[in-house]
Amino acid sequence: MVYNFKNDYTEGVHPRILETLKKTNMEQHEGYGEDRHCKEAIYLLRQKINNFNADIHFVSGGTQTNAIVISSVLKPYESVISTTSGHISTHEAGAIEHAGHKINEVESLDGKLTCKNIQSVLDAHSDEHMVKPKLVYISNATETGTFYKKNELEALSIFCKSKGLLLYLDGARIGSALCSQDNDLTLAQLSQWVDVFYIGGTKNGAMLGEAILIINDNLKENFRFHLKQKGALLAKSRIFGIQFVELFKDDLFFRLAEHANAMALKLSRSIEKMGYQFISKSTTNQIFPIFKQNLINRLSKKYGFYVWKNVDDQHSAIRLVTSWATKEEAIDRFITDVKVDF
């Protein structure tokens, strides 16, 4: 049977969450996020970021979150700045453009945005004949598995404020970023430096669900109308509340991300020891080793993964993603199978 390293949502849901969903199944609740589980989840998340003023909403997926947050924040003529590899630029079927907003894309080797990148967009947009860049989109972790250090996020935040820009952080893989062995940023610190961000549950043990945290007061008004209009205000939002309580009442969220990272680290260290290169230096749960085509062909008979990028005629980088559910035996088997070629 093929073992899947394609993604971090190939399994269903962490058993503890499933158990609680079962236990609470016959409870009767208000709909649309007014139930006690959502309220408790909001309390726990506010506690985690040490900010009881944050507005928190639950939705079902990442693309939906990006589309709703970005379209709710921007005026019709305003645009969003992102790296060319940013998820909104590459993998959302034009959801942002569909809402009428241009994405100002900038090249970035490691998937991260810098103040210099942003300034280059501002320099190229001087008046009302062009769109007006207003929002900066970053993701943590990025699409290449890298993440923002404390000083990098702080610098971006200060820069954005000084230029009148808003900062939005896509946290589809925020658990993995914050649990990286090299991370020096806490969830609470991160929340102080952005205007709005989301915590991804889908890729870290939840059945589905993302929590949107709005920090900037100016972005809070009528957000539920935006959710409702886009079909994202779910009657059965209890499902989100129950899951986020379970994930955050005792830091299960972080333990699951630590496991995913540990599995990725074991893989990357062993592959590196054999002398292979990577397209990015990742200590999160996505790694991108460069293999010869014949090795890729052989591995693909036993493992699921994406071929991410052609490096030259004979080599490509593949993407291996680990998750809260990745089995260590599968990692060991993969390493052994790569060694055959070594």
Tell me the DSSP string of 26-61. T----STT-SHHHHHHHHHHHHHHT-TT-EEEEES-
Of residues 127 through 156, those in contact with ligand PLP by CB under 6 A are 139
Q: Which residue is nearest to ligand PLP (CB)?
A: 62
Name the CA dihedral angle for 47, 53, 57, 61, rounded to a multiple of 10 degrees. -70
Nearer to ligand PLP by Cβ, of 86 and 295: the residue is: 86
172 binds ligand PLP (CB under 6 A): yes
154 contacts 193 by C-beta, under 8 angstroms: yes
170 binds ligand PLP (CB under 6 A): yes
99 binds ligand PLP (CB under 6 A): no
Terminal-residue alpha carbon distance, the chain: 24
Among the residue ranges 59-67, 124-132, 318-326, 329-337, the one whose residues contact ligand PLP (CB under 6 A): 59-67
Q: How far lies 6's CA from each of 125, 170, 305, 320, in Å? A: 39, 20, 4, 6
Residue 329 Cβ vs ligand PLP, minimum distance, rounded to whole Å: 26
- Find the binder of ligand PLP among 63, 120, 192, 270 (CB under 6 A): 63
- Our CA angle for 9, 15, 16, nearest 5°, is 120
202 binds ligand PLP (CB under 6 A): yes
305 contacts 331 by C-beta, under 8 angstroms: no
Among the residue ranges 43-51, 57-65, 180-188, 331-339, the one whose residues contact ligand PLP (CB under 6 A): 57-65
Nearer to ligand PLP by Cβ, of 87 and 102: the residue is: 87
Residue 60 Cβ vs ligand PLP, minimum distance, rounded to whole Å: 8
Quote the CA–CA distance of 154 and 10 in Å, as a whole number: 34
Which spans of this chain sit near ligand PLP (rule: CB under 6 A)?
A: 61-63, 87, 139, 170, 172, 202
